[in-house]
Amino acid sequence: MLFFRNDYGQGCIPEILEQMNQTNMQSHVGYGEDEICMHAKQLIQSKMVDHTVDVHFISGGTLTNQTVIKSMLRPFEAVISCDTGHIATHETGAIEATGHKVITVQNVNGKLTPALIQKSFDEHMLTYEHLVYPKMVYISNATEFGTVYTREELTALHEKCQELGLYLYMDGARLGAALMSGVDYSLNDLAAWCDVFYIGGTKNGALMGEAVVIINDSLKPYFRFCMKQNGAMMAKGWLLGIQFAGLFENDAFYTVAKHANEMAAQIQDALFDLKYPFLMKSDTNQIFPVVNENEYVFLKEKVDFELWENRKEGKVIRFVTSWSTTQEQVDALITLLKQAKELKEE
Q: Tens digits of per-residue pLDDT, 39-89?
A: 999 999 999 999 999 999 999 999 999 999 999 999 999 999 999 999 999
Sign of dihedral through CA atoms 165, 98, 244, 152? Answer: negative
Q: Is the dihedral of CA 42, 58, 106, 73 positive or negative?
A: negative
Q: How far apart are CA 232 and CA 226, in angstroms?
A: 8
Answer yes or no: is pLDDT of 14 > 70: yes
Q: pTM of the predicted model, to two decimals?
A: 0.96
Residue pair 207/243 in contact (Cβ under 8 Å)? The answer is yes
Q: What average pLDDT does range 249-265 have in this prediction?
A: 98
Please compute, for residue 197, the number of CA atoms within 13 A of its CA located in the half-sphere on the CB side.
28
pLDDT tens digit sequence for 25-35: 999 999 999 99
d(CA 248, CA 229): 29
91 and 100 Cβ atoms separated by less than 8 Å: no
| pLDDT class of 344 with cuts at 50, 70, 90 | low
Q: State the angle between helix axes of 151-164 and 114-125 in degrees (0 to 180), rounded to the nearest 10.
A: 20
Which pLDDT score, from 0 to 100, does residue 23 have? 96
Average pLDDT of the chain to the nearest whole number: 97
Give me the mean pLDDT over the 246-261 stretch. Answer: 98
- Say how far apart CA 157 and CA 115 lie, in whole Å: 9
Q: Which amino acid is at 184?
A: D
Question: What is the per-residue pLDDT across 123-181, written as a single tens digit (0 to 9) for each?
Answer: 999 999 999 999 999 999 999 999 999 999 999 999 999 999 999 999 999 999 999 99
pLDDT, residue 346, reads: 46
Report d(CA 341, CA 13) in Å as an integer.
35
Give CA–CA dist 176/258, Å, rounded: 8
Q: Are 206 and 47 in contact (CB under 8 A)?
A: no
Domains contained in the chain, CATH given:
2-6+252-345 (3.90.1150.10), 14-248 (3.40.640.10)
Q: Evaluate if residue 331 carries a pLDDT over 70.
A: yes
DSSP sequence for 81-114: EETTSHHHHSSTTHHHHTT--EEEE--BTTB--H
Collapsed DSSP state (helix, strand, coil) of residue 55: strand
pLDDT at 313 > cutoff 90: no
Residue 312 has pLDDT above 90, yes or no: no
